[in-house]
Structure 1
Amino acid sequence: MSVPSVVIAGCGDVGSRLACQLLASGWEVHGLRRDVSRLPEGVIGIAGDLFKKDCPETWPIGGVDYLVYCAAATDHDEPGYRKAYVEGLQHVLEWLNDYGQEPKHLLFVSSSSVYGQQNGEWVDETSPTQAGGYSGQVMLEAEQVAVNSGIPATAVRLTGIYGPGREWLLSQVRQGYRVAVEPPLYGNRIHVDDAAGLLAFLLRHVEQGGSLEKCYIGVDDAPAPLADVVGWLREYLGVTEWAEDASVRRAGSKQCSNARAKALGWAPTYPSYREGYAAILNG
């Protein structure tokens, strides 16, 4: 019996962690990135550029059971996002077509930026998508490309990813980061290993004969006001000074629900920021 095969297009941090989880389950994993020397051991490298129309020379010529599109924008502006998420996905779909490959399922790694709610509302997969910024608008456009691909497709809308190497907030807290307390600024996060774990869970679910909804939100169990997170980290780190700058306030405030993914049987290893940041700091 042949093992399931997957192409992870854009095999960076999240993609590489996903690759390691699937390799541990006996899957055949192909990872596409510019520098294949940075892929985890055991991943079959595809040296290529999602931004270019030409199919990589090392594209697999056999069957591809699953595609995970997990790109990251190089330029953080609207043209950069469109190139990474819309045009890049279109390129990969063309390459699949060139080789007559028809995956069982496509996972498109999207973002909770597709939701424009700003007043602390609870948000789930049935909530209206009214993205205010270009990032969410482009993500919705890319999700539609996936839906229209002819491949059964699911968007996985990840919230704020944190983990080893993603420690901006820790750095800010150490410098005395000030945050507005009222009204509460709700944030949503997921540990990078849980983000990869959710993707792996969904792929295994399909491989075992299950079906998926059109989208899932990737978030931990406990959306929390940013002031609470900062306060907890200050105490954990022993920070007593405050920065002289006035309180920082970002745009946007919502509480994302992971109920749909949990109903399928998934659960995060790090259910809240406390377990996740403790693991980073103790690591």
Structure 2
Amino acid sequence: MASLCSFTASSFSSQCDNVSLSHPLKPSLPLTNSFTLPRNMKKKKSGARTRPLFCAFKNAALQYRNIGDSDLNISEITLGTMTFGEQNTEKEAHDILHYAFDRGINALDTSEAVRYIGVSNETSYGVMEFVHAAKVGGLPKIVSIQNSYSLLVRCRFEVDLVEVCHPKNCNIGLLSYSPLGGGILTGKYIDINSEAAKRGRLNLFPGYMERYKNLASREATIKYLELAKNHGLTPVQLALGFARDHPFMTSTIIGATSVDQLKEDIDAFTSTERPLPAEVMTDIETVFKRYKDPAIF
């Protein structure tokens, strides 16, 4: 079921200048010593130089994109917060937030003040209807779509949403969730009796993301784990590198129950060869042809 959603990016301004483009990648941004939180941020006139919402620290190698045709310039990683209050203590949540900001993440998937609107789990028809309604009614246009996208869930976006959301068409930014398939693609659930599996949310919350636990998803995951090993990659590097490298990806939403887990995810974005080698992508497509969207719901 599709729903409207709000999206918040940290509204920090600084002394760093950068050109605001619609979708192209931006390099990591230099360190600045002062940050201010403005009450309002106005759109710059066409051709003017704009300031990024966040200037990353020197050890961050994340890249940045604008969401759709908005002026929100966000990191290629968005921090999900679903585990906060359920699998994380308040202190652990604060530690995760501090680490994320220190590494250059400036976008949170949570409920805050609304600056722009987007949709979630939407279809191509739904996206076009929202865009049309905004146009004829003089209403704010949606700028983002939050849909699942991973090695195990691809077709719904790749088949037609990618065309609708393209910058030259409706210009809707994809904020993909579950790039690790709820943790399945890390391989920790292959041995259901392992400590990692027992602590995982798919076991803590019966019925949650059940689609990733079916036989086809398990078989596909094993193939991707073997593929990663053959190419000298960790399962996390393969899965997140795959999501990261697609030109239609604005930002990938990742959740973490510990700083160590978040560090592994961020490192997968920043240290894995960009883009993934052609031979890796070829092997991914070979597995995909055998297991097309085994976790589709």
The alignment's TM-score, normalised by the length of structure 1, stands at 0.28
More strand per residue: 1
**Bigger relative contact order, structure 1 or 2 (CA pairs below 8 A, ≥6 apart):** 2
